[in-house]
Amino acid sequence: MNRLPVLFILACVGFTPVAYGKDAPEGIQSLIVLEKPIHTVIPSGVIFLNEPSTTEQFLTKLEGHPPDWTYLFGKNVDERYDRLFDESEKRDALRVDNPNLTQPIAFLWDGFLTSVRKDKAGFGVSIGPRQIQTSWGIVRFKLANEPFEMTAMPPPKLFETLKKKRAGKEEVAIIILYRGTLIPEESLMYDFSTAKEGEGMILPIVELTQVDYFLPKSEVPSP
């Protein structure tokens, strides 16, 4: 299980996608000014997993019921991750042929513009996962095939404005919208939070098909 803390990761040339993913989606995309709520851009037929209730409904269709975190955490630390492994193996077997494994989903991560790309009118993007607090535990999506390069390309006038903002070391936060489906063979991982003892974490492993970048209109700086 991955025990590394959640950190923002600089997505740049030379980044190697996770090995078990298939072809990664294109990470060089337009930076779209978002004038409506983010849910309005989700295509029909795609489940938007951004709220606890929707996420819990999806997990119920996929898993039936949440893990018994009290049992899994237990008192014997040496056996804790053996119990997690056994639970994961059992649930992987029960999940075979579940139609929700091929259900397209969408979710959000946080992003920040970094430096200007040398060869294009765009910015590198640093990324950080969001967490959804649910009755099942903390849900945090895990990417199976991150793009090799993540670059946000604003419209020309906005690019110049944002370039001045970044030159002054000002932070520019954006929204990253990922779309994809779960990995059939190992669609969920189980772990424990490092912030609160005994709190469970569920990590859906997603094979990405699309990545999009948005800047809310309210956050667009004045020229």
pLDDT 10s digits, 23-64: 899 999 999 999 999 999 999 999 999 999 999 999 999 999
* Strand, coil or helix: 162: helix
Distant-in-sequence, close-in-space partners of 164: CB < 8 Å, separation ≥ 6: none
Structure tokens at 81: 């991750």
Closest CA to 73 of 132, 137, 30, 6: 137
Cα torsion at 166, 170, 171, 172 (round to 10°)? -50
**For residue 204, which of 148, 138, 149 has the smallest C-alpha distance?**
138
Pairing of strands 151-153, 47-48: unpaired
> How many structural domains comprise the chain?
1
Dist. CA 132–CA 112, nearest whole Å: 20
**Pairwise CA distance, residues 175 & 11, whole Å:** 15
- Closest to 47 in 3D by CA, of 103, 93, 127: 103
Structure token digits, residue 180: 């994809």
Name the residue range of residue 133's domain. 23-36+46-217
Residue 68 falls within a domain, yes or no? yes
Please give the chain's pLDDT, 223 residues, in tens.
333 333 333 333 333 334 433 589 999 999 999 999 999 999 999 999 999 999 999 999 999 999 999 999 998 888 998 999 999 999 999 999 999 999 999 999 999 999 999 989 999 999 999 999 999 999 999 999 999 899 999 999 999 999 999 999 999 999 999 999 999 888 999 999 988 989 999 999 999 999 999 999 999 988 7
The amino acid occupying position 191 is D
Q: Which residues pair with 125 in a beta bridge?
A: 11, 113
Task: Judge whether 7 lies within some domain.
Answer: no
Residues in Cβ contact with 216 at an 8 Å cutoff, skipping those fewer than 6 apart: 33, 34, 175
pTM here? 0.88
Residue where the block lists tokens 């370039």 = 163
172 within domain boundaries: yes
Query: Which of 100, 178, 96 has the alpha carbon at shortest distance from 140?
Result: 178
Indicate whether 11 belongs to any domain.
no
Question: How many angstroms separate the Cα of 211 from the Cα of each of 4, 15, 65, 92, 176?
Answer: 24, 16, 30, 27, 7
What does the alpha-carbon distance between residue 15 and residue 24 come to, in Å, rounded to a whole number?
12
Tell me, yes or no, whether 15 lies in a domain: no
